[in-house]
Amino acid sequence: MNDTAPDNGLPSAIDMRSVLLACALEILRTKGAGAMTVRSVANAAGCSTTGVYTWFGGKTGLVEAIFIDGFQHFGEAIRAATPDGSDDKPLAGMALAYRFWALAHPTQYMVMFGGAVPDYVPSEHAHAIATATFDDLVAATRSSMEVLDLDGTARDVAHHLWAGIHGYVSLELANMDMTDSDDERSERFLLGMIRLMRGCRR
């Protein structure tokens, strides 16, 4: 059975889902949450509002899809950047991947972490997907506890590191990191990660 969409110049169903999400993110980026409605997203995607309701059930489902897709891709990027080994490389790799992904997807990142859509509350399913990325950090931290002589539980140390990474990234996204160039921002981030990990040692 051939499941390739016919070449009729129209997006396939799966492509339409991606188009709707991309349009929603662009409206959020350029006009803010107040402008992101079912109708505005449908108009931007070149379809009827039925398309949004069919795929997402409405605005809340659309935002939920942005949130879930964000964390799934975010998690994939972090796991892909984590090398094997029991030293600080898993933590450094995750930190760098966190920053790179956030800077490449700032609007989606703010939906995930910054309350970009104020009236959206993640469902239990969405929350579980989000916390899975923290579990990955806990696992990488646990593998580094002994060789780095880290103090406390892996979960506590991971929380401390996540909070620090998030702080650096959030300041950078808000253009409040007090640096003048990309090189300076990268250097300060790396230095910050070293200091965060040193602060967790016995």
- Tens-digit pLDDT profile for residues 95-132: 899 999 999 999 999 999 999 999 999 999 999 999 99
Query: What CA–CA distance (Å, rounded) separates 82 from 85?
Result: 9
Average model confidence (pLDDT) across the chain? 87
Q: What was the pLDDT predicted at 73? A: 95
The reply to whether 184 and 113 lie within a common domain is: yes
C-beta neighbour count of 71 within 10 angstroms: 23
The reply to whether 20 and 74 lie within a common domain is: no
The reply to whether 162 and 70 lie within a common domain is: yes
User: Is residue 1 one of the residues assigned to a domain?
Assistant: no
> Which of 57, 76, 95 lies at the terminal end of a domain, its last residue?
57
The reply to whether 35 and 99 lie within a common domain is: no
Phi-psi region of 81 (alpha: psi -120 to 50; beta: other; left: phi over 0): alpha
Query: What CA–CA distance (Å, rounded) separates 36 from 116?
Result: 11
Query: How do residues 142-179 score in pLDDT, each as one tens digit?
Result: 888 888 888 889 999 999 999 999 999 999 998 887 77
Q: What was the pLDDT predicted at 8? A: 43
The reply to whether 50 and 95 lie within a common domain is: no
User: Is residue 39 one of the residues assigned to a domain?
Assistant: yes
The reply to whether 72 and 168 lie within a common domain is: yes
The reply to whether 74 and 19 lie within a common domain is: no
Q: What was the pLDDT predicted at 140? A: 86
The reply to whether 41 and 130 lie within a common domain is: no
Does residue 33 or residue 84 have the better pLDDT?
33
The reply to whether 141 and 83 lie within a common domain is: yes
User: Is residue 92 one of the residues assigned to a domain?
Assistant: yes
User: Is residue 128 one of the residues assigned to a domain?
Assistant: yes
pTM: 0.85
What's the whole-number mean pLDDT along residues 191-202?
A: 85
The reply to whether 33 and 98 lie within a common domain is: no
Supply the CATH number for residue 137's domain: 1.10.357.10
pLDDT at 9 over 80: no
Query: What CA–CA distance (Å, rounded) separates 38 from 27?
Result: 11
Q: How many domains are there within the chain?
A: 2
**Nearest residue to 16 (alpha-carbon basis) of 64, 76, 56:** 56
User: Is residue 142 one of the residues assigned to a domain?
Assistant: yes
The reply to whether 47 and 133 lie within a common domain is: no
**Start-to-end CA span in the chain (Å):** 61
The reply to whether 72 and 128 lie within a common domain is: yes
Query: What CA–CA distance (Å, rounded) separates 74 from 133?
Result: 8
Q: What was the pLDDT predicted at 68? A: 97
3-class SS of residue 175: coil
> How would you label 113-149 residue by residue, b for 16+ Cβ within 10 Å and e otherwise?
beebbeebebeeebeebbeebeebbbebbbbbbeebe
Structure tokens at 12: 């396939």
For residue 15, give its domain range. 7-57
- Given a contact cutoff of 8 angstroms between Cβ atoms, the answer to whether 35 and 27 are in contact is yes
Query: What CA–CA distance (Å, rounded) separates 136 from 153?
Result: 15
What's the whole-number mean pLDDT along residues 34-56?
A: 95
